[in-house]
Structure 1
Amino acid sequence: MTGRRVVITGMGVLAPGGIGVKNFWDLLSTGRTATRGITFFDPSPFRSRIAAEADFDPWLHGLGPQETRRMDRAAQFAVVTAREAMADGGLDLGSVEPHRTGVAIGTAVGATMGLDREYRVVSDGGRLDLVDHEYAVPHLYDYFVPSSFAAEVAWAAGAEGPATVVSTGCTSGLDSVAYAAGLIRDGSADVMIAGATDAPISPITVACFDAIKATTPRNDDPAHASRPFDRTRNGFVLGEGAAIFVLEELAAARRRGARLYAEIAGYASRCNAFHMTGLRPDGREMAEAIRAALDDARTNPEDIDYINAHGSGTKQNDRHETAAFKRGLGEHARRTPVSSIKSMVGHSLGAIGSIEIAASVLAMENDAVPPTANLHEPDPECDLDYVPLTARDRRTDTVLTVGSGFGGFQSAMVLARPERSTA
């Protein structure tokens, strides 16, 4: 990346089976899964009745009754993880100019749970064609506009600089962090609180994915339902969660003695302009994003130690991605371990890209590659090293993490140990 170098100095993670950074890594490193039957509502009418739910109690995580009432579940996730990230980074907000501190939050579906719940209230369970607004929660408008997520995090951080929401489907969590890094790189901000959140496990979301048969119907075995790159895979498992990071300019972070988790060394995105949900089998657009991200990072394919895959567990995605890795990295793709954490925490739509950044950073922090759980029967068409079942010790200095989203979005990011170079 040209301009100022950008590093991650703080992290907060809220994921199914792993709330908090330590618990999240414990889940990944042991290959445990957090998928189960849906408990948030009666899923019996639906084709896919399983999800990766987070056992989240807002009160236990420091949110008072007014905050809980005001914020949708996804906004609650964002605020809790932002607070964790700022505490983890040891960031003294009093020493940072508020107008030089910004926020960038990614989300795919916004306040889905709040809107779904409130519609049932104002329509009397769907009975009324003309809804009665007097029964609505006072802050219903905040549910309607995803920009409220950025506002809530900005208030929590005292940030008066750039604040935005990035919504590019399932690449939102990568794109929001890259957008934030770009603001620091070009001098528009010194500190950014960035990441993504989604809490989409609601009847409307489940119905949408049922309609296109994107989610798995393997309801009798939730723990083993998410099977990226496995021959028997038949769709993804819906999830929820958030990950937020503190991003700073490298020299300033070093001056204050901050912990340097990783440098955001390169990023690129492409769109296939092809189909709303379909993917070309050759993986060309993702491969182009990978090559452009490597060029941005001034990194060769041979420098990549680990690939954190999108790995949704749909037939077309996993084949498309395998082709993209081969096309983007050449022969080095066959020597590089690849894994999908969606096998353990499900697919949290816009949030997952940031959660996968956290997993990539922790892989570097611990010199270990998390596994692809439930990969018992490798698909012959997915013939790379997909690290089945068990985590693997490996020196990991440079990670490629990628995302693929409906609408044809393809994003790639290169993360590196800050000491990798002094350029």
Structure 2
Amino acid sequence: MNRVVITGVGIISPLGNDVDTYWSRLVRGESGISVIDTFDTTGHKVKIAGLVRGFDADARFGRREARRLDRFCQYALAAAEQAWNDASLSPEQLDPERLGVYVGSGIGGLQTLMEQDALLLERGPERISPTLVPMMIANMAAAQISIKYGALGPALSPVTACSIGNTAIGEAFRLIRSGGADVIIAGGTEAAVTEISLASFANATALSRRNDEPARASRPFDAERDGFVIAEGAGVLVLESLEHALRRGARIYAEVIGYGASSDAYHIVASDPEGRGAYRAMKQAIREAGISPEEVDVISAHATSTEVGDKAETMAIRKLLGEQASRVPVTANKSMLGHMLGAAGGAAAVALVKTLQEGIIPPTINQESRDPDCDLDYVPNAARKADLTVGLSNSFGFGGHNAVIVLKAYRD
């Protein structure tokens, strides 16, 4: 079995469009949530989101090419380019048949579909773009990255809702570990802050309605949480066999040592209220990693800021860690980012890589009112320095999909 390491990271997010900016703002506990100004929210119950700011697609791709890419593909390509460059990869170092892409999206090109549907109603079928389908289908992010880098190995787009990033990273880890690839670009992307998705999530009473104080709206584990905040972006990593990375003299950030996946088999949107599926995924991940619960130093929680979900995840962590649960810090990046849906796991993985590398745990902000059902150490409101070796990252999705990865600090 090959050891699998992370040699490159890339991010597009509400907290910044490069890793340094993203990480520094996470550590400072800044919120990336703001009032929506990208479309008219008159009549909407919810008017806030975690928006990607300062992203100029025309400058990155050229105006003609940008018009052929839905935003979820634009974000994925930009994050993948960062990760590729960060890993210092070059074609002459690679066997293209052993280079893969595992990047998924939960919703795909929803904005493009909405725009073309409006055009159909207004001007008729002759005006519909022939590029509609290839712009909106969820596999296109992986396809576009594969085309850009000449990746002739597997190009997959896992669709496991909000656990996509961890599913992609975990499945890529297993393929490299088994010898099926040398390098895989893996992660998730999403651009679903649209009128229709905002209305649907709001009507399902899933979203926070703190419209007048967006920075305080996402508050995982806090007693006054009232739902998640929808967000957008992409998080992408380069995974590589240790042998391949050492052979080309790559800088190594961290090692992937375990992956666990499960299904709640409970409800299409609600978490199992006792966190049983989450527990099974975490347990499987640490078993595959060959570690005991006592060796876990930090947990990056899924923690969307919903009443049932945060409580269930707390229960699952307590069951996994037992008596030491109260001593293991748990951080919730969504308190600052909002919920990036299919991009959430990739963004969390980038943050966990930096956490292990720097020995700093980003805070869970907006911890103001204690919930007796959420009684772990959530690193409240201020970052914390710590000696860290092993971190778990949790991602859970609609339909009961659970995916957990275990990362380990890489020591020469």
TM-score by length of 2: 0.97
Show structure 1 runs of 5+ residues with no match. 125-130
Name the SS of the counterpart of 2:259 in structure 1.
Answer: strand
1:321 to 303, 313, 323: 313
- Counterpart for residue 128 of structure 2: 136
Q: 1:135 deviation in Å?
A: 2.4
- Counterpart for residue 32 of structure 1: 30
- Counterpart for residue 405 of structure 1: 397
- Counterpart for residue 93 of structure 2: 95
- d(CA) in 2 for partners of 1:339, 1:57: 27
- Counterpart for residue 116 of structure 1: 114
Higher mean C-alpha deviation, range 185-194 or range 313-322: 185-194
- Counterpart for residue 345 of structure 1: 337
2:368 to 363, 367, 376: 376
- d(CA) in 2 for partners of 1:294, 1:373: 28
- Counterpart for residue 272 of structure 2: 280
Higher mean C-alpha deviation, range 263-272 or range 136-145: 136-145
Q: 1:116 deviation in Å?
A: 1.6
Partner letter of residue 411 of structure 1?
A
- d(CA) in 1 for partners of 2:232, 2:30: 16
- Counterpart for residue 127 of structure 1: none
Q: 1:407 deviation in Å?
A: 0.5
Q: Is the 8 A contact 1:5 1:185 kept in 2?
A: yes
- Counterpart for residue 414 of structure 1: 406
2:213 to 210, 214, 221: 221
- d(CA) in 1 for partners of 2:326, 2:291: 18
Q: 1:39 deviation in Å?
A: 1.3
TM-score by length of 1: 0.95
Q: 1:143 deviation in Å?
A: 2.5
Equivalent positions of 1:35-74 (< 5 A) are: 35-59=33-57, 62-74=60-72
Which aligned segments of 4 or more residues in structure 1 are displaced greater than 4 angstroms?
Answer: none
2:202 to 210, 214, 225: 210
2:154 to 136, 144, 162: 162
Higher mean C-alpha deviation, range 21-30 or range 253-262: 253-262
Does 2:268 correspond to 1:270? no
- d(CA) in 1 for partners of 2:246, 2:275: 39
Deviations 1:170-190 (CA, angstroms, capped at 9, x unpaired): 101110111111221122211
Show structure 2 runs of 5+ residues with no match. none
- d(CA) in 1 for partners of 2:119, 2:359: 49
Q: 1:123 deviation in Å?
A: 1.8
- Counterpart for residue 294 of structure 1: 286
- d(CA) in 1 for partners of 2:88, 2:23: 20
Q: Is the 8 A contact 2:106 2:138 kept in 1?
A: no
Aligned length: 412
Q: Could you say what the CA RMSD is over the residues aligned between the two structures, in angstroms?
A: 1.3
Equivalent positions of 1:242-261 (< 5 A) are: 242-261=234-253
Higher mean C-alpha deviation, range 137-146 or range 364-373: 137-146
1:21 to 19, 24, 37: 19
- d(CA) in 2 for partners of 1:201, 1:85: 24
Percent identical among aligned pairs is 39
Q: Is the 8 A contact 2:5 2:256 kept in 1?
A: yes
- d(CA) in 2 for partners of 1:121, 1:304: 53
Q: Is the 8 A contact 1:58 1:76 kept in 2?
A: no
Name the SS of the counterpart of 2:399 in structure 1.
Answer: coil
Q: 1:352 deviation in Å?
A: 0.2
Q: Is the 8 A contact 1:325 1:333 kept in 2?
A: yes
Deviations 1:379-419 (CA, angstroms, capped at 9, x unpaired): 11100001111100111111011011111111211100233
Q: 1:132 deviation in Å?
A: 2.0
- Counterpart for residue 128 of structure 1: none
Partner letter of residue 253 of structure 2?
Y
- d(CA) in 1 for partners of 2:55, 2:70: 13
Equivalent positions of 1:69-88 (< 5 A) are: 69-88=67-86
Partner letter of residue 233 of structure 1?
R
Does 2:192 correspond to 1:200? yes
Name the SS of the counterpart of 1:269 in structure 2.
Answer: strand
Deviations 1:74-128 (CA, angstroms, capped at 9, x unpaired): 100011111111110011122211111111112111111221222222222xxxx
- d(CA) in 2 for partners of 1:403, 1:339: 13
- Counterpart for residue 311 of structure 1: 303
Q: Is the 8 A contact 1:118 1:137 kept in 2?
A: yes
Name the SS of the counterpart of 1:18 in structure 2.
Answer: coil
Partner letter of residue 176 of structure 1?
A
- d(CA) in 2 for partners of 1:93, 1:305: 37
Partner letter of residue 195 of structure 2?
P
- d(CA) in 2 for partners of 1:243, 1:301: 27
Q: 1:22 deviation in Å?
A: 0.3
- d(CA) in 2 for partners of 1:411, 1:343: 20
Q: 1:69 deviation in Å?
A: 0.8
- d(CA) in 2 for partners of 1:418, 1:61: 36
Q: 1:45 deviation in Å?
A: 1.5
Q: 1:57 deviation in Å?
A: 2.7
Partner letter of residue 200 of structure 2?
C
Name the SS of the counterpart of 1:395 in structure 2.
Answer: coil
